[in-house]
Amino acid sequence: MRIATWNVNSITARLPRLLAWLESSGTDVLCIQETKCAAEQFPYDQLRELGYEAAVNATGRWNGVAVISKAGLEDVVTGLPGGPEYEGVQEPRAVAATCGPVRVWSVYVPNGREVGHDHYHYKLQWFEALRQAVAEDAAAERPFAVLGDYNVAPTDDDVWDPTVFQGLTHVTPAERAALAGLRDAGLADVVPRPLKYDQPFTYWDYRELGFPKNKGMRIDLVYGNAPFTKAVGDAYVDREERKGKGASDHAPVVVDLEL
């Protein structure tokens, strides 16, 4: 079973590449982030033609997440239970579904903007709500994973130059401690150092030739419980999908399970 996560940075802009990638990669379940569209604008029909159904949490031009599956969609949860609001709104940043033998969450963790900003505190609150929401599934015997854009680089090895990020979000001790809370809940980083590339970054800024110069970050993560982790046969970042015209600024992260 092949499961992946990908921040597509607008499903409308990325749709031709998304459909082509689904066909060529043979992915069974894809968690996507930053759909940047309302749920009624989601390309259900085009995906259905390829054999996929979708569980979507999206409200407009910002944020938005989905689980796209060929393996079925059951027990869908839209939104983060107990999740905090930002400016009076619970943003569309989480959706969960059971896809055959595996349960997954697709998450788009808040960016945080800058240290000390209200959005930064919101990010830390969101992480705590996520930890509480996934605790039961994390402890279950069924394979379970939280996939998505976490907007945290777990270690200094996960950014192209740690000195550039000093004092910025994505690398602060508080953010990394929040991420560690998921590990304390029984989840493990499934793709810590994939062997296909020496530096398995998942995101490169469009500006300043970020991708050609490999000025990247590893912020798209897969955190699985013990049954999920034990089933992993291979895992990698599909760096090739970041290349070329019309690419997202993130690459897909792919995990193959032997179930």
Structure confidence by residue, pLDDT tens digits, 68-116: 999 999 999 999 999 999 999 999 999 999 999 999 999 999 999 999 9
Report yes or no: 148 and 65 within 8 Å, Cβ to Cβ: yes
What is the rounded distance in angstroms from the CA atom of residue 90 to the CA atom of residue 125? Answer: 12
**Segments forming the whole domain that contains residue 10:** 2-257
What is the rounded distance in angstroms from the CA atom of residue 195 to the CA atom of residue 52? Answer: 30
Q: How many domains does the chain have?
A: 1
Q: What is the pLDDT of residues 130-141, one digit of tens each?
A: 999 999 999 999
The letter for the amino acid at 255 is V
For the packed helices 118-138 and 173-184, what is the interaxial angle rounded to 10 degrees? 10
pLDDT of 34: 98
Report yes or no: 106 and 148 within 8 Å, Cβ to Cβ: yes
Q: What is the pLDDT of residues 175-234, one digit of tens each?
A: 999 999 999 999 999 987 654 556 689 999 999 899 999 999 999 999 999 999 999 999
**Can you give the CATH number for the domain in which 75 is found?**
3.60.10.10
